[in-house]
Structure 1
Amino acid sequence: MNKLVSILIPVFNREEIIAETICSALSQSYKNIEVVVVDNASTDGTWDVIEKLSKNDTRIRAFRNESNVGPVRNWRRCVEEAKGFYAKILWSDDLISHDFIEKCIPLMDEETAFVYSGVKIFMSDPDRGSPHYFIGRTGHRSSSEYLTKALLADNVPVSPGCAIFRLEDVINNLLVDVETKVNSDFAMHAIGNDLLLFLLTAKDYKKFGFVAEPLSFFRSHPGSISISSGDGKLPLHYMLVRAYFAERYQEDIVDRVVAKTWILLKAYPRHSRFGIEKVDDFFFREVNVNYLLVSLIFLNQLRRMPARAYRKMYRIFGTKK
């Protein structure tokens, strides 16, 4: 028998679009699903929409927090209410294809950490979205490949909205707080906890799966975390998480993460408003910048972004600090 998949939808103030998201979950061709929706004390009509839908479909299990607990604790509430063997997080502003689970599950063998699909990022029409995170043909790749690419920010997803995991791994690896020297409140800004779920899970398995089709659709709008986070906030906090993981679990890549961090700080000179002053703030141990690595990484970035090369070169190397 097919194992139960819990589709987890944490939500806050999405009255206009939550029905579309829930319906994309309910439309799955894989039939053994539950849809766990947790409303984080929305102040608009979101809960009314959820209640109406849940009355018409017993696969929906709807919950509401008495008060707003912050985004990551709301994610955890979804996980705590889930009953499935597998877990698929679906953000309240995103969509999945009707065959997302059907096409991902066959790749989830005992050696596979997670499976993710290609993504389209859209504003109004999912079919016209721009493609992201395509890495070749459908199949398996080594977890070490994912870890290296993720730690160096190289064309792999940071959002589990395009992936499916075992529920047990989400329980263990979706952290509310992340310990850093700058004491950033990850529970509230929710930037990096998602990537850490991928990283912590990947380290415990030999491989991951990829479906080379755009089965996940990420909505780009002013209210999303990725859009609403200010200039530099998103990449800097993701780099804090990369440093956190590399320092603890993958020492062989720390020098490259340090070099990427140095480049990032040059690209976002107003980083001090996030409590970040220097490369050392990303690491608990003393680190040194390898400027040869910086040059190699930077030149590789220039080859990938020729139209922006000279502006970036001036911004990074033209500023002494």
Structure 2
Amino acid sequence: MTNTDEIASAPLVTIVLTAYNNERFIEETISSVFKQSYAQIQLIVIDNSSLDSTASVIQNLKEHLPDFIFIKNQVNIGLCKAFNQGLSLAKGKYMIDLSGDDIMLPDRVKKQVAAFEALEKDYGVVFSNAINIDVNGRFLSFHYEVNDVGRAVQLIPGGDVYKNILEKYFICTPTMMMRTSVLLEMGGYDETLSFEDFDFWVRSAVKFKYFYFDEVLMNKRNLPGSLGKKVYQKGSRMLASYYVVCRKAYDLNRDQEEFDLLAARIRTFIRKCFYAQEFELALQFRELLNYIENPGLVTELIVLLCRMRLPVNVIYRFYIENLHKFRNSRKVLAFNSVK
């Protein structure tokens, strides 16, 4: 078989890149797609009504690199709905959801496709390790700490990861390659939610297996105003979306261990509701928890504090922001000391 034949027979991968106010990073992100060592890629770029010059940068790139689809939304329709726009146009066997500020390493697509093609069809997701970088592209940390040959030092869950997903956040979302048929079976992302990952994990992992590819394949940019940092921001609707997903998990759970794990996760969200001053939402979480088990003294105390509507949000956000800065500075010092 000739090299041309091999390329033509390789499965197509659709990358949906959603951007919002990423003028500083979008060119590097798109360039990382075109620098992939894998040729069979369909790129769909969606500007979600950016307020800066992101759309102009994309349009300029398209004039020089025309081989991608560009959709410019006139209003911001939200991350999940924007991704579903791309999903409706996807022709690939596999899909990647790419943010407008992250960077794919050159062999990412090739290595994940090879992993997928060697797996059984009940595997819906391949994910990997990543490096967290700051706004200037400087190293912050590894998503999973690595040894001297770049392999994760901890055991990363694989196969049936549903229980692991209920227990805690452990997957680096931007590293995921998803089987397109899985997304279509699920009806895409839930457009009523503020974010996609926890809901996708819950709904897909209950039916499909996950595979961890033990290499760093992404640079994930951590920005001060990123979605993940808004969970403690009052009125962000992040915690409301978590409540919806917990309700779904309640209906999907298969055994008592899964209900126990969900109960522990709900307790965590009740505490976060208190810190975010989402007091009414805390009561809804408490009601859901009560369907599973007795909330207990500590949780009931937190709920009581929610009923008192204590103004703790500003103080707690100040504490969290400075704690993150301290932890990141320690990780950078540790990384530089071994270089």
TM-score bucket (shorter structure): 0.7 to 0.9
The one of 187, 190, 193 aligned to 1:176: 190
Going from structure 1 to structure 2, the CA distance change for 1:63 and 1:263 (only over 3 Å counts) comes to closer
SS in 2 for 1:222: coil
Q: Any residues of structure 2 matched to 1:24-103 within 5 Å, and which? A: 24-103=32-111
SS of equivalent to 2:292: coil
Aligned twin of 1:266: 271
Within-5 A mapping of 1:133-172:
133=144, 141-143=158-160, 146-153=161-168, 155-157=170-172, 159=173, 161-172=174-185
SS at match of 1:278: helix
Q: What residue number does 1:122 align with? A: 133
Shift in Å, 1:281: 5.0
Residue 68 of structure 1: how far off its partner (Å):
2.3
Per the alignment, do residues 204 and 12 of structure 1 end up closer, same or farther by CA in structure 2, a change over 3 Å counting?
same
Q: Which amino acid aligns with 1:153?
A: K
User: Are positions 1:17 and 2:28 aligned together?
Assistant: no
Separation in 1, partners of 2:242, 2:294? 15
Query: Which residue matches 1:197?
Result: 200
* Cα contact 2:250–2:259 (8 A) shared by 1: yes
Contact map agreement 1:226 1:234 (CA 8 A) in 2: no
1:213 to 209, 212, 215: 215
Question: In the TM superposition, what whole-angstrom CA distance separates every residue of 1:16-50 from its partner, at most 9, and x where no partner exists?
Answer: 11111111111110111021101112232111111
Q: TM-score with structure 2 length normalisation?
A: 0.72
Partners of 1:162 and 1:216 within 8 A in 2: yes
Distance 1:130 1:224, change over 3 A: same
- Cα distance change of structure 1 residues 280 and 49 upon mapping to structure 2, 3 Å threshold: closer
Structure 2 CA distance for partners of 1:42 and 1:216, relative to 1, 3 Å: same
Q: Secondary structure at the match of 1:116?
A: strand
Task: Name the aligned partner's letter for residue 194 of structure 1.
Answer: D
- Which moved further from structure 2: 266-275 or 109-118? 266-275
Unaligned runs of 5+ in 1: 178-184, 295-321
Larger Rg: 2
Which secondary structure does the structure 2 equivalent of 1:283 belong to? helix
Give RMSD over aligned pairs. Answer: 3.1
1:106 counterpart residue number: 114
Number of residue-to-residue matches in the alignment: 279
Looking at structure 2, the residues matched to 282 and 76 of structure 1 have their Cα atoms a distance apart, in angstroms, of 32
What code does the residue aligned with 2:223 have?
Answer: H
Closer, same or farther: CA 274–107 of 1 in aligned 2, 3 Å: farther
Deviation at 1:200, TM superposition (A): 1.9
Query: Over residues 274-318 of structure 1, what are the superposed CA-to-partner deviations in whole Å (9 max), with x where a residue is unaligned?
Result: 6413364573982323759x9xxxxxxxxxxxxxxxxxxxxxxxx
TM-score, scaled relative to structure 1: 0.75
Question: Where does the alignment leave 5 or more consecutive residues of structure 2 unmatched?
Answer: 1-8, 146-151, 300-339
Could you tell which deviates more after superposition, 4-13 or 106-115?
A: 106-115
For residue 165 of structure 1, report the CA deviation from its aligned partner. Answer: 0.7
Quickly say closer, same or farther: Cα 1:163–1:280, change in 2 above 3 A: closer
Is this contact kept in 1: 2:273–2:282, CA < 8 A?
Answer: no
